[in-house]
Structure 1
Amino acid sequence: MNHKTLQIHSKDNVFVALQDLKAGEKITFEQKVITLKTDVPAKHKFAIGDLCKGDLIYMYGGIVGKAMVDIQSGEVLTTSNVTHEAESFGKKSGTYSWEKPDISSFENRTFQGYHRKDGQVGTGNYWLVIPMVFCENRNVDTIKEAFLDELGFAKTNPYKQLVKEMASLYQNGDSESIKNLTVNTYLDKSPAKLFENIDGIKFLNHQGGCGGIRQDSDALCTLLAGYINNPNTAGATILSLGCQNAQAPILEEKLKNINPNFQKPLIILEQQKEGTEQQLLTRAIKETFLGMAEANLETRKPAPLNKLTVGLECGGSDGFSGISANPSVGYAADLVVALGGKAILSEFPELCGVEQELINRCVTNESAEKFSNLMKAYAASAEAVGSGFDMNPSPGNIKDGLITDAMKSSGAAKKGGTSPVADVLDYGEYVKTPGLNLLCTPGNDVESTTAMAGSGANVILFTTGLGTPTGNPITPVIKVSSNHRLAEKMPDIIDVNTGFVISGERSIKEMGEEILEKIIRVASGEELTKAMILGQNDFIPWKRGVSL
């Protein structure tokens, strides 16, 4: 990599601009000089040689687009001259060989986690309060209001104090002083917790459980069962109305399917059986309090790194994500897999064009076929409503250099590292096989992170080039920046900066190892992620309609 441009793969017929380049600048490549015909913003691509209309565009060694018009050598690629095109895929072929990374410095390492009776180990100890249907959201909110302040889990809202001060100044006729106020004045520490060994009580409000189609309610029950079974969950309180589609017995059956020997505290209350709202809430609050007191007896103990289940996510991606952040996360995932742990790669719309590579990496023909079928079914459902994977890139993606879905996908897939695909899971299925697992989810950031936690991820790595505050109620989300500018501009949401790969100061291997060190500290409760500090508890179940 030089300081101005990068050809990612020798087969690629485009360069990535590592900094803003001006029309007329000359780039030397293989003893040839390329004169830029247009300005090329950092993160965008330009043609190495002349391309004719219909020629295929290659990046990462694969097809990522097709020229819609003739493109001159040195001309920037845009949505006006390039359209989406991707590699086709078929049956699994060949035998995949994996060269494991060096894990000698991590083999005897541990993290401090919560050991569950079923053998899982949590990186946190949370109590959940979950409505079976949206009708119970208000009751859940009432419990939330009752518990957070009194038990010391409430997060101070500095903006509330800011508004209070502004109101006071305004009433005293001093509107001018409002301009000089800063929110930092009102930042203070949260009160001491009553239950020292409980990391939080989380409330999973949602808009599902009734109406729609029965499959939606069934999928919701499966997801909620996964959250209850997640090793980061100490116990749960479930509020059911009683007449909705998402019945409590369905949830219990889903939980039994995931874990026949489930032994955590689980409180299930039905409003139509309890009587008045007061009776329901009083019982729910009392039993939840006693359940949390029981969960507070759990303490952190050393656990081997093979007890890690790491979710791999990206959001707000840019043209550097597939060069710095995603490969670095991929290396960390390879380390976890080599140590005997689990990794989860999701977002199936963002695997478009790399299907054959992943199919060939599948350990079994059954997994390869399952992945192929899920991808085809998902693509068909999108096309049936007049959409398609080609419409996945967001305006932000396009603005920062990801102009086709295949281009975005080729970089996004790097989060999965290079290890064999041990298993393929449909939405809601719980991860059980050590190694890299593919999980069918939408490309939507929160729907995907929500699903990974429901499938057992006890920590999530989330790469971003543009910045997003996304977090999760029970699983810590470690935000990884692809570039220096984002890390410097938004330090309140970024945990790790891989911009050092772009600047040439560090290697993918070095960044991957740094990310694993971060995982160990977060998993041990030694550090909070920025999303945890902000109180970012995003939870969006996927209605199995089309969501790109």
Structure 2
Amino acid sequence: MQVLKVHPQDNVLVALQDLKKGTRLTYEGAVYSLQEDIPAKHKFFGRRLDAGEAVIMYGVIVGRAQHEVTTGQWMNTGNVKHDTSPYEYHPYRYVWNPPDVSRFAERTFMGYHRSDGRVGTANYWLFIPTVFCENRNLDVIREALHNELGYAVTDKYKAKTRILREWYERQNDVSEVDLTVQESVVPVDRLFKHVDGIKFLNHQGGCGGTRQDAAVLSKLLAAYANHPNVAGVTVLSLGCQNLQVRDFVEDLKQLNPTFDKPLLIFEQQQAVSEEQLITAAIHQTFMGLVEANKLLRQPAPLHKLTIGVKCGGSDGFSGISANPAVGYCADLLVALGGTVLLAEFPELCGAEQNLLDRMPDEHAARKFMALMQAYGAAAERVGSGFHMNPSPGNIKDGLITDAIKSNGAAKKGGTSPIVDVLDYTEQANKPGLNLVCTPGNDVEATTGKAASGATLILFTTGLGTPTGNPVCPVIKVATNSRLTERMGDIIDIDCGPIINGAKTIAEMGEEILEYCIKAASGEVIPHAVRLNQDDFIPWKRGVSL
């Protein structure tokens, strides 16, 4: 198949491969003659449109023609501008047809059981600075612990640099050196077999900004400390910063009154010296790691999983391959009683009505509308807006309006009813599909999704991105096989077979859930985890798309 009409009401079609000017195509009985070259992932008009007429894709308005366009003409930023339909709350009438989950009904994963009943997919020790002044101390501790306890990613880049140095010292031409010989280096053996990693939440906050920034950061850090993938926490504080330790501890208690993980707190302005502070932190953390290492993976039902769904480096195939496949996986998990988190509010622009119609709780629906409107207004006050969300890479690969991008992005959440709407750092406490208010920014979104309780994140990408998270394993899902071939060192799952017709969305969705079960059990290590892609950026609630 060369082209695809995503929804019967659409007046544009998607090119599944590069198409030349003059090509005549027949699709569902209609014949189209292309007026110009149509790159793969881009769209062409299925009929003539007058200036100002609505462009329909996914069955909704995604833009308006800027001037008259003809059948077979390439749709681009020169002839289409972003537009969406208004949205409002309607009484709930949605009927969901859940997928068949018999294949997964009795399945379990091997997770880390916490005392509050939650189950983690990993067992991490977490270092938290209450202020950016402690970042350097965290870096010193990270190097010591990672190198000596076997958590360093690999020594291959050090080995490559060493070769370059040796060649230079011998006055050889370094442009001729062969660096492939050290591609595989045996890593240091890990001392604590049941501690999956020691993670560090370096950030640029805690002081110098507004008190509100510090308050939001405190809640974010408390959510990470309370995360089911975390076994224990070491906190480093300077002492005089806006974000005081007592505020962090109070937020932690409010979040979980029965919090019982090891919590080690060190304040530099109360220490005898920097060496004493770092030595004590290393010593006491080591003792905590000894205890954390005693916890073993045990079977857990699949409804204990909380999966966040995210897209980044999106392309024109995102909304028709990887995102719908992840959405099918999300529907499977919801039908099994699990929890799914869909975030990125700037990338829900144009999909609001579909989402509102799936909300049985009017309070949640009105909360969603209020958050979307406040977010959009904040962007417009600084001369921006949701319509400016698509990046140059998105546009180059076919996502020319935010509404096209957003309606494709919303497919990651599947089709189930939406049980709750969460503001930034609020916890997901209801099984089912939850909306979480975050930016579309890859790292800010994954940071917020983990804070709301995601224990795995499915991250779809059409262009490729190295984004990960310190405490929540991130699984990369490619929209196309060409990306998988080119960036196979960061891609875990290839949804390209949907584009070439080899697999259905449902088949890929089931494969994705199978991979999630293995990743949650520690049987496979996603590339983002293997490469220590521990990205963490708190959202300061300013304008970030």
TM-score normalised by structure 2 residue count = 0.98
Partner of 2:539: 542
Residue deviations 1:20-46 (CA, integer Å, cap 9, x gap)? 011111122454422111110000000
Q: CA deviation at 1:286?
A: 1.3
Q: CA deviation at 1:274?
A: 2.2
The one of 359, 382, 385 aligned to 1:385:
382
Q: Which consecutive aligned stretches of 4+ in structure 1 deviate over 3 angstroms post-superposition?
A: 29-32
Q: CA deviation at 1:292?
A: 1.1
Distance 1:288 1:249 in 2: 20
Amino acid at match of 2:77: T
Distance 1:435 1:258 in 2: 21
Distance 2:107 2:426 in 1: 29
Distance 1:394 1:125 in 2: 36
Mapping of 1:241-252 within 5 angstroms? 241-252=238-249
**1:100–1:338 contact (8 Å) kept in structure 2:** yes
Q: CA deviation at 1:291?
A: 1.0
Partner of 1:160: 158
Distance 1:29 1:141 in 2: 58
The one of 350, 354, 363 aligned to 1:366:
363
Q: CA deviation at 1:180?
A: 5.1
Partner of 2:41: 43
Distance 2:435 2:28 in 1: 39
DSSP-derived class of the 1:460 partner: strand
Partner of 1:12: 10
* Structure 2: segments with no counterpart, 5+ residues: none
Partner of 1:340: 337
**2:460–2:478 contact (8 Å) kept in structure 1:** yes
Partner of 2:347: 350
Distance 2:267 2:68 in 1: 66
The one of 269, 294, 299 aligned to 2:296:
299
Distance 2:505 2:30 in 1: 29
Distance 2:491 2:28 in 1: 38
Distance 2:340 2:114 in 1: 20
**2:167–2:177 contact (8 Å) kept in structure 1:** no
Partner of 1:64: 62
The one of 212, 216, 220 aligned to 1:219:
216
**1:158–1:183 contact (8 Å) kept in structure 2:** no
**2:159–2:182 contact (8 Å) kept in structure 1:** no
Partner of 1:479: 476
Partner of 1:273: 270
CA 1:184–1:13: 2 relative to 1, 3 Å: farther
Q: CA deviation at 1:106?
A: 0.4
**1:34–1:74 contact (8 Å) kept in structure 2:** yes
Amino acid at match of 1:281: I
CA 1:157–1:87: 2 relative to 1, 3 Å: farther
Partner of 2:255: 258
Partner of 2:71: 73
DSSP-derived class of the 1:487 partner: helix
**2:164–2:177 contact (8 Å) kept in structure 1:** no
TM-score normalised by structure 1 residue count = 0.98
Amino acid at match of 1:74: G
Distance 2:543 2:456 in 1: 27
Amino acid at match of 1:311: G
Q: CA deviation at 1:346?
A: 0.3
Amino acid at match of 1:71: V
The one of 79, 83, 99 aligned to 1:101:
99
Distance 2:107 2:297 in 1: 15
1:428 matched to 2:425: yes
Partner of 2:467: 470
Distance 1:31 1:466 in 2: 33
Q: CA deviation at 1:171?
A: 2.4
Amino acid at match of 1:133: V
**1:159–1:183 contact (8 Å) kept in structure 2:** no
Amino acid at match of 1:43: K
Mean Cα deviation higher: 295-304 or 147-156: 147-156
Distance 1:229 1:248 in 2: 15
Amino acid at match of 2:510: E
1:119 matched to 2:94: no
Q: CA deviation at 1:11?
A: 0.3
1:321 matched to 2:313: no
Distance 2:393 2:93 in 1: 38
Distance 1:152 1:198 in 2: 11
Q: CA deviation at 1:6?
A: 0.4
**1:423–1:436 contact (8 Å) kept in structure 2:** yes
Partner of 1:533: 530
Distance 1:475 1:227 in 2: 10
Distance 1:62 1:256 in 2: 45
Amino acid at match of 2:371: L
1:312 matched to 2:309: yes
Q: CA deviation at 1:193?
A: 1.3
Partner of 2:416: 419
Q: CA deviation at 1:101?
A: 0.7
Sequence identity of aligned pairs in percent? 58
1:143 matched to 2:125: no
DSSP-derived class of the 2:110 partner: strand
Mean Cα deviation higher: 452-461 or 166-175: 166-175
DSSP-derived class of the 2:357 partner: helix
**2:163–2:179 contact (8 Å) kept in structure 1:** no
Q: CA deviation at 1:159?
A: 1.9
User: What is the RMSD computed on CA atoms of the aligned residues?
Assistant: 1.1
Partner of 1:88: 86
Residue deviations 1:76-111 (CA, integer Å, cap 9, x gap)? 011011000012111133411111111101011001
Mean Cα deviation higher: 520-529 or 255-264: 255-264
* Structure 1: segments with no counterpart, 5+ residues: none
Q: CA deviation at 1:136?
A: 0.6
**2:62–2:82 contact (8 Å) kept in structure 1:** yes
Q: CA deviation at 1:184?
A: 5.3
Distance 2:365 2:176 in 1: 60
Distance 2:11 2:530 in 1: 44
Number of equivalences: 545
**1:92–1:356 contact (8 Å) kept in structure 2:** no
Partner of 1:238: 235
1:133 matched to 2:131: yes
**1:330–1:414 contact (8 Å) kept in structure 2:** yes
Distance 2:6 2:118 in 1: 39
DSSP-derived class of the 1:147 partner: helix
Q: CA deviation at 1:168?
A: 1.2
1:28 matched to 2:33: no
Amino acid at match of 2:12: V
Partner of 2:493: 496
**1:348–1:443 contact (8 Å) kept in structure 2:** yes
Distance 1:8 1:451 in 2: 31
DSSP-derived class of the 1:361 partner: coil
Q: CA deviation at 1:179?
A: 2.9
Amino acid at match of 2:539: W
Mapping of 1:181-220 within 5 angstroms? 181-183=178-180, 185-220=182-217
Mean Cα deviation higher: 184-193 or 244-253: 184-193
Amino acid at match of 2:283: K
